[in-house]
Amino acid sequence: MIESAPKRVTIRDVVRMKRDGKKLVVVTAYDVLFAKLVDSAGVDIVLVGDSVGNVVAGFETTLPVSLDQMIYHGRAVRRGIRRALLVVDMPFLSYQASEESAIMNCGNVMKQTGADAVKVEGGTEEMVQTVGRLTRMGIPIVAHLGFTPQSIRTIGMRVQGREEADAQRMVDQARKLEDAGAFSLVLELIPSDLAQRITEAIAIPTIGIGAGPHCDGQVLVLPDLLGLNDEFAPKFLKKYADLAGTVREAVQRYGEEVRSGAYPDADHSN
């Protein structure tokens, strides 16, 4: 008997989940192996984040990540996903310069990776216009407000929206991004009460990271939640495993057995 393919999560499903009161589960992935694992674990959305620059390439920020890198990792993740919705981050300067370059670059990412949508940062009037143009061209968009990593040099890595004027501006930006056609909104490093205000103000789902419990879903960087990076421990991060310790222990045992001659033994030799 041939096993039938699982039903894929669609954009319509994602939007419906908010209406039905179901929380969205989102994680990042950057390669086919982890893509297969998180997909089989039942996540709703897999994000190929430009955080690949930090957690895989070792960059200080996401700024050096190129379009080619995102396409490479997006294609790898696509090959590992059967069910989840696939979203690929657009890297710095791939969509900000002009609407025309945004259309070409976002369209190219979708064509080459097989992504279901792309994610862009910011809520300025120019970005709202770009999101509107992209969605009219048939490119589904996840928007991103709060701490936007590609703006780290100008805003710093800190909680955004603590002042009322900033908070109200973010609420207004969220409404405009929804009106422009974004089907979901990531909220990063903002106060919980502001995340609740935004979540209640718009019909599209919000996905929080460091934004408290009131969002319609949550996203974490996979190596962070797995405890692979034991040097990174912000307040919002809950580590669901200690794989850094597991990996070290396994490699140390391997090294000990190689040095002692215990590996390979007869059971592991041809």
Query: Catalytic residue positions?
Result: 188
Q: For 187, phi and psi rounded to 5 degrees?
A: -120, 115
* Joined tokens for residue 156: 């710093």
Alpha-helix residue ranges (DSSP H) falling in 119-242: 125-136, 152-155, 164-180, 192-201, 222-225
Q: How far is CA 18 from CA 167, 184, 200, in A?
A: 22, 10, 11
Rg of the chain, C-alpha, whole Å:
20
Are 87 and 117 within 8 A, CB to CB? yes
CA-closest candidate to residue 89, choices 42, 132, 46, 32 = 46
Amino acid at 125: E
Alpha helices in 89-151 (DSSP H): 99-113, 125-136
Cα 134–chain centre separation = 19
